[in-house]
Amino acid sequence: MTSITETLPPELLSRVFFFLSGDQQHIAASRLVCHTFKELSSPFLITRAHPYFRRYVSELIWDASVSDKSEYDSLEEYVLSCQLAPRRFRDSKRRDAEQRRLAQCKRLEELSCDDADRWTGAPLAGVCGDRLPAAITPNPLHSDIVDEDDEGPDIDMDRAERLGLIDAYQIYRERWRSQKQIEDSALMKTTLAHAFAKLPKLQRLTFADYRVLATGDESFDDCCRRLFGNVLQPLSLGIDFGNPAPFPEFLRAVASVAPEGRIQSLSIPRHPFETRQGMQYYGNSNPRYPIYVRGEHLVNYMQETPNGFGGLFTNLRVLRLPISTYELSSHANFIISMKGMLSQMTSTLTHLTVSIDAPEFDEMYDHKCFFDDMLGALHFISLQLLDLRGWYLPCYPLKMFLAVHASTLREVRFLNCLLSTDSLDMGDWGAKHLRLTGIELAPPVNPGFDAIPGVEEE
């Protein structure tokens, strides 16, 4: 007899457990039924921050993924985006019904082979219709929406309906409307204020998108299916450069509600799918693009806000900030804004990671003034780790900066950086003048493809 876990799709079971959210007695009982029930019901066991757990929460991960308005406005645009997305789409109901039909066909076929005298196999066509088992006839419901040999993004609405994209479009529209209501309201500020009020040890902020929520060795397709089902995933921050700029808006909201000196760590981490090898810029279709903050957005925010980020950075110890200089209108304004922001952290910062999206040699050379003008005059009195990526590092200003911080600096990482001096010479100089416990120097390799100027986790 077929069990319920084999006949019902996981999305439907998850929806059932969703309505039991907060009912710990029934959820706990469901987790004891089988492995499938345990996996699907566990996320709903604890849905509120119990006072006991609030005392130990120290990090807030803010998923700033956004849905795209163009896909909200047009079904054709939505289907086209699904067609370009590097994942599989399939309708769970149709897929499961097809699997049951094929299983029945297989059983009938086995019966016809085992007892040809009593079972001629003639009813097979009547049960299965005119179609043969999938081993003979490929089933389009188990295929990607875009074939590998497809020459162009021709929209096939009949196939899109078979894959469940027409129904999923309505769900995407509802999610976009909810997102729009959040943007137009003060919900972001209210949520952050509530978090700081209820979580007394909240000290670390991590700003990211849905890709950092992948678990273990989960593929991008499995991650999207777990988080969004058969609905198109939102835009990732590594690709979306639209307005409003999500990171400055997030910092603006945090600065308005966070107690002064509360934040000790601000990070934008790497995601598990990150790579630049063979990179092509197809908007929402490429999940491998690193997460970056657009430098121009920081410049605009610092110019529009006289007091910068207020007291947000007065006690900051860890900063991991990947910067994209794409279409940066003025390098001078960028340097002034970044230097003004970093100057607020000189008395407390211990770990500094700044990566610049400059995958080509000529782009690195164009940024040759960044280091001296941005960091050269700053003195971080407690700096222990310096991690720079994608920078052009001039020899003399670099040595002067390191010498000033020699008493506290213990780890140095220059990855995908273009040094104006020989790496061995730099290593010898560091051995004589610095007291480092770790040093890593890695020049760019095939810039633009293999270089990964991301942010490293501790």
The CA-based angle 89-92-96, given to 5 degrees, is 125
> What is the predicted pLDDT for the residue at 126?
32
Task: Verify cis geometry, omega within 30 degrees of 0, for the bond prior to 244.
Answer: yes
Higher pLDDT, 443 or 264: 264
> What is the predicted pLDDT for the residue at 448?
40
pLDDT band at 147 (very low <50, low <70, confident <90, very high): very low
Whether the CB-CB separation of 234 and 210 falls below 8 Å is answered with yes
CA dihedral 418, 421, 424, 427 (to 10 degrees): -90
For the chain, the average pLDDT equals 75
CB half-sphere exposure, 60, CA atoms < 13 A: 25
> What is the sign of the dihedral through the CA atoms of 79, 81, 83 and 87?
negative
> What is the predicted pLDDT for the residue at 308?
61
CA atoms of 194 and 50, how far apart (whole Å):
14
Structural domain spans, the chain: 4-48, 167-442
Higher pLDDT, 17 or 424: 17
Helical packing angle, 331-343 and 295-304, nearest 10°: 70
Tokens of 14: 């998850």
Q: Would the pLDDT of 102 be above 70?
A: no
Token match 């164009």: residue? 366
- Mean of the pLDDT values across residues 378-400? 91
Helix (H, G, I), strand (E, B) or coil at 74: coil
Q: Would the pLDDT of 255 be above 90?
A: no
Closest by CA position to 324, among listed 264, 268, 253:
268
Give the H or E element holding residue 440: strand 438-442
Higher pLDDT, 49 or 51: 51
Per-residue model confidence as pLDDT tens digits over 16-43:
887 777 677 888 888 888 888 888 888 7
Q: Would the pLDDT of 373 be above 80?
A: yes
Residues forming beta bridges with residue 204, ordered by sequence position: 59, 265
Token match 């104006």: residue? 420
Whether the CB-CB separation of 224 and 89 falls below 8 Å is answered with no
Whether the CB-CB separation of 89 and 145 falls below 8 Å is answered with yes
- Mean of the pLDDT values across residues 430-435? 87
Give the H or E element holding residue 6: helix 4-7
> Which residues have a Cβ under 8 Å from the Cβ of 245 and sit 6 or more positions away?
294, 297, 300, 301
CA atoms of 199 and 218, how far apart (whole Å):
30
